[in-house]
Amino acid sequence: MRRATRVGVFGLLGSGNLGNDGSLQAVLGYLRAEHPEAVVDALCGGPEAVEARFGIPATRLHWYRGEYRTASRAGSIAAKGLGKLVDVFRTAAWVRRHDVVIVPGMGVLEATLPLRPWGFPYSLFLLCAAGRVFGTRVALVSVGAATIRDRPTRALVRWSARLAAYRSYRDAQSRDAMRAMGVDTTRDEVYPDLAFSLPAPRVSAPSDAPGPVCVGVMDFHGGNDDRARAEEIHRRYLDGTIRFVRALVEEGRPVRLLTGDDCDASVVAAILDAVDSPLVTAAEPASLDDLMKEMAAADTVVAVRYHNLICALKTGTPVLALCYAAKSDALMDRMGLGAYCHPAREVDADRLLAQFRSLEQRSAELRRTLAERNQAAVRHLEQQFTALTSALFPAAGHTHALREAP
């Protein structure tokens, strides 16, 4: 009798980011449908949350529990340094127990938000290096990537990608970025984000009267290269968003504020404080399913976070994107809404309102476009899962050869 395949999933999962957990949900759905015999567990940021929600065993990603707190005292600096060493052996031992490790989606090869090289990039490198040492197939599945300027971060990301047995990207820009950073992408494919494989809620027929507007917010301070002006960027984004919400309320439109990560609660509080109206309410979504239900009930969505955009697009709701990275522009263009992008770093409330009104005028047309693009995305992801089975589960009767890393 053949031993069950041991599959690990890896990433900042269960840490409060709904997009990351949605990617995990999609991969677990694939595994349970196509490989029900597989034994699955996780090495992740929030093991308790992953175990409670997804019902799989989970191990904490870092030995040092204060990994994501700034170390200012000698004791915490020493503990964090020791943790980096301990994590070498913890990660290697975990990887060795598996036949396959999947990194499900997420922007694991980018630094479009503030990121230190010895944080997640270091953890990903340990994973991929251990996979190569112990013969465990590591797959980076529909991941995001971007050209990285910081040399230590770029080196760790580049070697992680080179050491992986399988790579696919969620947009062509990601693949181009890895090629530009010295990774051979000849055999790498581009597929939609994994969240497009999740089931969408039933969408109510839009009424003639103006309905609610969902505004997805973000605790946005710019990216890795914007640290010197992070507060200025945050203030401009917040001020512009507040002016936009206030203008909608003055027109009598109900506004529903949505988050995509636990850290976004401060932005919701600031908007509610600045726009004191019963027309402005806030939701506390616990999953992408919750986000999609909120957005399916809306006439229009305005959002920043990448997976908030995906949830709106998945439900077929016209969405205006506040873009902070090329991935958002690429996503909107692929789904037929490329004209409805606005820079998150330079929110201009008047221009945003003009774009919003244009979007609503074309709502019926854009809903038809989104229905067609969503069907195509689902079909493309079915091809992705077929390719993944061939690459990672050869014992299941597939003979697809794995890539040899340079």
Name the DSSP letter for residue 261. B
Task: Please write the tens of the pLDDT for every residue from 45-64.
Answer: 999 999 999 999 999 999 87
Residues 6+ apart with CB under 8 A from 183: 158, 161, 162, 167
Q: 68 pLDDT exceeds 70?
A: no
Q: Residues 213-371: name the CATH superfamily.
A: Glycogen Phosphorylase B; (3.40.50.2000)
Query: What is the pLDDT confidence band of residue 2, given thresholds at 50, 70 and 90?
Result: low
pLDDT at 79: 75
Bigger pLDDT: 83 vs 6: 6
> CA-to-CA distance for 171 and 169, rounded, in angstroms?
6
Q: 6-190 and 213-371: same fold?
A: yes
Q: What is the pLDDT confidence band of residue 114, given thresholds at 50, 70 and 90?
A: low
Supply the DSSP symbol for 145: B
| pLDDT tens for each residue of 165-215 | 999 999 999 999 999 999 999 999 999 999 999 998 876 665 666 789 999
Q: Taking 70 as the threshold, does the pLDDT of residue 74 lie above it?
A: no
Report which of residues 165 and 80 the model is more confident about.
Answer: 165
Please compute the mean of the pLDDT values over residues 370-379 and round it to a whole number: 96
Q: Give domain limits for the chain.
A: 6-190, 213-371
User: In whole numbers, what is the pLDDT of the chain averaged over residues?
Assistant: 91
- Residue 199 in 3-state DSSP? coil
Over residues 206-253, the pLDDT tens digits come to 566 678 999 999 999 988 778 889 999 999 999 999 999 999 999 999
As a whole-number percent, the residues of the chain with pLDDT over 70 amount to 92
Residue 305 has pLDDT above 70, yes or no: yes
Determine how many CB atoms are found less than 10 A away from the CB of residue 312. 30
Q: Which pair of tokens denotes residue 135?
A: 């013969």
In 144-260 the beta strands, taken as DSSP E runs, fall at 166-169, 189-190, 213-216, 255-258
Whether the pLDDT of residue 395 is over 70: the answer is no
Instruction: Give domain 6-190's CATH architecture.
Output: 3-Layer(aba) Sandwich (3.40)
Q: What pLDDT score was predicted for residue 292? A: 96
Cβ-in-10-Å burial (0-12, 13-18, 19+) of 1 comes to exposed
* Residue given tokens 């003009």 in the structure block: 354
